[in-house]
Amino acid sequence: MKARIFAKAALCVSLLAVSVGSALAADNVKIGMIQPLSGPNSVFGVNCQRGMQLAVDMINEAGGIKSLGGAKLELVPADIPTPNTAAQATQRLISREKVSGIVGHFVSSSTLAASEVTERMKVPLVTFAFADQITERGYKYSFQVTPKGTVFGADQFNYIYDMMKDHGKAPKKIAILYEDTAYGTTQAKGLRAAAQAKGVEIVVDEAYPLGITDANPLINKIRATSPDIVFPVSYFNDALLLIRGMRQQGINIPAVGGAAGYVINDFRKGLGEYCEGILSVASSNQDLAPKDFVDRFEKQYGVMPTHDAISHAVAVDVMAKAIEKAGSADPKKIRDALAETNTCDGIASAIPGKCVVFDKNGLNTKTFPILVQWRGERLVTVYPKDVATSEPVLPQ
Amino acid sequence: MLAFIQSLLDGILLGGIYGVISIGLSLVFGVLGIVNFAQAQFMMLGMYAAWFAWDSLGLDPILGVPLTGAVIFIIGYAIEKLLLQPVLKAPPVAQIFLTVGLMILLENAVLLIFGSSFKSVVVSYQQSGLKIFGLFISVPYLFAFSAAVIVCIALWLFLSKTWFGRAIRATAQDENAAVLCGVNVKQVYALTFAVGVALTAIGGAVILPYMTVSPTVGGQFAILMFTVVVLGGLGNVAGALVGGLVVGVIQSLSAMVLPVQLQNLILFMVFIGILAFKPEGLLKEA
């Protein structure tokens, strides 16, 4: 009997302790993370997750959200392997997990599907995805820290064109190969327009399905037309198939990739020495990001942070700063604070141009694409000149 | 003209692989009467087995074919004994649920064990190609094709020259008659399924030098496999090989004149056309 009373008393005390404990600490602010954590694009999703988690850890260690009494940020992940699962997963994050905002998705078409839900349910979405439509629909709750896809495409062409022109051998004919979802088609559109504006002939302009298993038909077209430069816009598998296929057939035409598959560590692992010197556009790069972030990322995960991880960390930081400014976990107030974002410090400064300021459509007006090149196990920034950390090694 | 021959050649090299991964599906249907929706996942398992052998033992995926085949053979044998045997006489709906369930199970089990990232191997001949009379032959494609041909010849010898091969064919023709002649048909079913999935797994292993593997890679091949098998004639082993070559060549040639995006559109138009005139497939019952 005595033992039972004691047990009850102990239970009461511990319950009391629990309730006091939770009253003292401020509630966590939940941020939804939508990424492809399984399926064909998971190699990117895992990268993005690492960057986002590290940003959250660093913000929490620096004292969390001070205007909310030091509340900690908490990432709530949702796996979105394909665009058709995006709406449902996003809805679940908002209605069941009650997230204050959402960051992601790596894939443009999934981001577009998710943004329909965030707009309807009035929860802010900060994304890294490139597709032009994201900021062209007049949506109030979508914000994009990176440049638009057509801008990426245009600069993918213009940067290398200018560089080669400086060396007296401007390209005369080029090939464009792109995957046929939102990301590839918008970026190819920018590329095409830029090439036409410079009067450069496009000898191959070919879309291919994302799940392509044999790139030989594309390679045959390249060989038949022998362009000066190939511009592939691909995710990962297709990037490997294209570059391997070209090298197998002894085609040494330089390739300038369109970010995604060309700037991740697995790309280098898959190609080995053939990776050296390959150029690509990117939304950010390790040699332009704050050193403490890059060092810690490498220590924690054993690999160099690539642009997807860095730019997603930027997105998290922008979201955190808006929560700080709003002093609230209410999605609508955070949205209003996001619209007035003007930040040039912290992890957000990792983005080229160093600053994030959104226009009325939610597009970051301060940033621009950069051109990066593989050197051994690292990617270095080679263009534009004012931010470059290395001289480009130009294709011969 | 050279471009045409080049595309034809690429299509044949590709089609040989389609053939070898599809033969297993056809064999299982022809003997067990089951449509194995999880067949493509065994190809994925084969790719992982080959990758694992390369990663831990340094074994080339093509030289590792016997090992990959043996591992998947054992897994296939166990699955048939434990899961398929009970539903062999059950209504087709139960069989479909079982193999579709197996497909989901295998994909997710591999996802748990190996994670979702892409795995690829690095071998010396990966980026090399041959040039003969102005035609390019990619070395990894050539090796994969040669391995596929050798495996097909081995299967043919097994089915036609060995006692067990004859038992398999006898069971496919008439189960009751086979039983009367002293064939242990339960054993035949288990072995056929094991051989069938091992063949598909080998097809996966030999393409690893130019493909990457992830838990969902099977999905990219599943529809092609069913197309190949139906085109060649359901349950017809030689038909699967012919079907594979036809599909590979159509895909490759259509890309010459039309955008690559449309290559499967052409494929399915030809497919529907062939079925309209020859509903039993290209080759009749073997």
- Structural domains of chain A in order of their starting residue, each with its CATH number: 29-147+287-365 (3.40.50.2300), 150-282+371-383 (3.40.50.2300)
Give, as one character, the DSSP assignment of residue B84: I
pLDDT for the residue numbered A1? 46
Give, as one character, the DSSP assignment of residue A72: P
Please state the φ and ψ torsions of residue B86, each to the nearest 5 degrees.
-65, -25
- Probe site for chain B from A214, A267, A303 (most B CB atoms < 10 A): A214
> Looking at chain B, which residue has its C-alpha nearest residue A244?
B127
Which residue, A132, A318, A293, A157, is CA-closest to A227? A157
> Looking at chain A, which residue has its C-alpha nearest residue B136?
A249
pLDDT for the residue numbered A20? 43
β-pairing verdict for B135-138 and B129-132: antiparallel
Q: Which residues of B touch A249 (CB under 8 A)?
A: 129, 136, 138
**Residue among A237, A249, A269 minimizing CB distance to B129:** A249
Q: How far is CA B163 from CA B28, B157, B176, B188, B193, in A?
A: 18, 11, 18, 11, 17
Helices (H), chain A: 2-24, 42-61, 86-95, 108-121, 149-166, 182-197, 216-225, 236-248, 265-271, 291-301, 307-326, 331-339
Cα A370 off chain centre by:
14
Handedness of CA B93, B97, B102, B103 (dihedral sign): positive
Mean pLDDT by 10 residues, chain A (396 residues): 52 46 65 88 88 95 92 94 92 93 92 94 93 90 93 91 86 91 88 92 89 85 90 87 85 86 86 86 92 94 92 95 93 94 91 92 92 91 89 77
Q: In angstroms, what separates the C-alpha of A221 from chain B's closest C-alpha?
A: 8
**CA–CA separation, A200 and A271 (whole Å):** 30
> What tokens appear for A18 in the block?
């629990």
> Residues 235-264, chain A: which have Cβ within 8 Å of B?
236-237, 240-241, 244-245, 247-250
pLDDT for the residue numbered A395? 67
pLDDT for the residue numbered B279? 78
3 state DSSP class of A75: strand
**Cis amide prior to A312 (ω within 30 degrees):** no
> What tokens appear for A70 in the block?
């030091």
- Probe site for chain A from B1, B7, B116, B136 (most A CB atoms < 10 A): B116
**CA–CA separation, A142 and A102 (whole Å):** 10
| Crossing angle of the two packed helices B2-32 and A216-225, in degrees rounded to 10 | 180
Which residue, A350, A346, A330, is CA-closest to A71? A330
Residue ranges of chain B whose pLDDT lies below 70 = 284-286
**CA–CA separation, B249 and B267 (whole Å):** 10
pLDDT for the residue numbered B286? 45
- Probe site for chain B from A49, A204, A213, A219 (most B CB atoms < 10 A): A213
pLDDT tens figures, A6-52: 555 554 445 444 444 444 456 899 999 999 987 778 888 989 999 99
pLDDT for the residue numbered B118? 79
Which residue, A94, A148, A146, A104, is CA-closest to A127? A104
pLDDT for the residue numbered B22? 92
pLDDT for the residue numbered A16? 46
